[in-house]
A and B are shown apart, each in its own frame.
Chain A
Amino acid sequence: MKSSWTRLLFVASSSALFAGCATTGPASPADPFEPWNRAMYQVHEVVDGNIVRPAVQAYVDYTPPPVRQTISNFFGNIDDLFTAITAMMAGKADMAGNSLGRVIVNTMWGVGGLIDVASSGDIPKANFDFGLAFGTWGIPQGPYLFVPLLGPTTVRDGSGWVVRFYAGPIGYIPDVPARNVLYGLGAVDSRAQALSAESIVDQAALDRYTFIRRAYLQRRQYLLYEGKVPPEKEEE
């Protein structure tokens, strides 16, 4: 995982270098490094398609659903804490309060976050993170990036990932094997959640790279504006 982050930084910096080399004009203004990103996407497809995806699919096929749910809840509880923090950074008091409430309820009554009792108690889970908090401060997305193994992001959202990664808490676990197991499980869990959406992309997309890029950017806009994105003009 750590090496993935080093790679992210590497990609971010090398993308800047490669920008000067692009000869054809970018098709999408949001993606000035498209040739580089496409190359990274190819790398991702090879590694993910041949190793990660089959392994994660096996995890989904052979792990009983209650066990997977428990693992998801554990990591989801940590995410809720960061949702609360980042929502606070963005001045979203309701979202911050609800998310903090979820963390307290689930940690105290849900065996340290293993059971999501808050959802049953009608405190809905929210979507927020550092990248979105930066967005509410007026920081633009910056160029789109595709990072092997980690997927689509942008300079802003990727910076959010870096902050989130160093904020912990898993990185602060002193026992190295335990920490690595948690990193591994967390990575498998988040990859598994993308599987079903992905098979729909396979069905739908003419060009997966373009499809994923547009979907990612649309999704982030939507989350940033909490669903109140000004509708796009029909004919551009």
Chain B
Amino acid sequence: MKATSRIGLAVLAAAFALSAHAQEAPDALVKRVSQEVVQIIKNDPKVQAGDQGRIREVIESKLVPHFDAERMTALAMGRNWRQATPEQQKQLVDQFRTLLIRTYSGALNQYRDQQIDHKPLRADPNATDVLVRTEVIRQGQPPVQIDYGMEKKDGGWKAYDVIVGGVSLVTNYRDEFNEQIRAGGIDGLIKTLAAKNGGAAK
């Protein structure tokens, strides 16, 4: 696999960039976590074999704790978020997190070995909201930019958006959520999300 890593990993990894060390700069966090996950992917035979359960386990243990599922859900909900009851909000966050995990599991399984460039952070050192930029190099095709919107929280930096080639994951769900809410209210959206997630482990 040479110096290359997997694009899916990068997506995952930085998606939820971590923070065991609150002092660590957000770009350093993205890089460290993506490299950690790349190592697991390279060396874990189950992941190599495409075992979805194992892939999900890696994502849940390594990445999920470091991303802000609540903020992602609130952003995707837009103005509908405040109309949801606390119980609905909790269910939405749970379901949306599961959907994101499933999506990333699929991405991880899909992409072939690719080289990832981590770009220097262009931000004020005191900034609490930054965009960490990475680029996936593909042979014979334009590179794909993968950027992570990250916010400084008490426990360190957390990712609240992943922007792949200019397509923001969170913004992309906004139309869908709106549509579901218009058709069946917030409970309708929760039902659709749960159905989409099917038997997936929460």
Contact = CB atoms under 8 A, between A and B. Distances in A.
* Pairing of A with B: yes
Interface of A: 27-28, 69, 72-73, 76, 116, 119, 124-127, 193, 196, 199-200, 202-207, 210-211, 213-215, 218-219, 221-223, 227, 229, 232, 234-236
Given A203-B106, A218-B167, 10 more contacts: A72-B140, A76-B141, A124-B142, A125-B140, A125-B142, A202-B106, A203-B107, A206-B193, A214-B175, A221-B166
Given A27-B179, A204-B103, A205-B176, A218 B171 contact: yes
B140 A204 contact: no
B28 interface: no
B110 A200 contact: yes
Contact of A27 (B105, B173, B178): B178
Given A199-B106, A200-B103, A227-B166, A218 B172 contact: yes
A73 B106 CA distance: 27
B110 A204 contact: no
Contacts of A227: 145, 166
Contacts of B111: 196
Contact of B192 (A27, A119, A206): A206
A210 B103 contact: no
A203 B102 contact: yes
Interface size class of B (residues with CB under 8 A): 35 or more
Interface string B62-106: 000000000000010011000000000000000000010011011
B163 to A, nearest CB: 8
A28 B105 CA distance: 30
11 contacts: A76-B140, A116-B139, A125-B140, A207-B180, A210-B179, A211-B172, A214-B175, A218-B166, A234-B78, A235-B79, A236-B78
Contacts of B110: 196, 199-200
Interface string B165-197: 111110111111111101000000000110010
Contacts of B169: 204
A207 B196 CA distance: 10
B142 A126 contact: yes
B143 interface: yes
B196 A206 contact: yes
Contacts of A207: 176, 179-180
Most buried by A among B142, B145, B174, B192: B142
A229 B179 contact: no
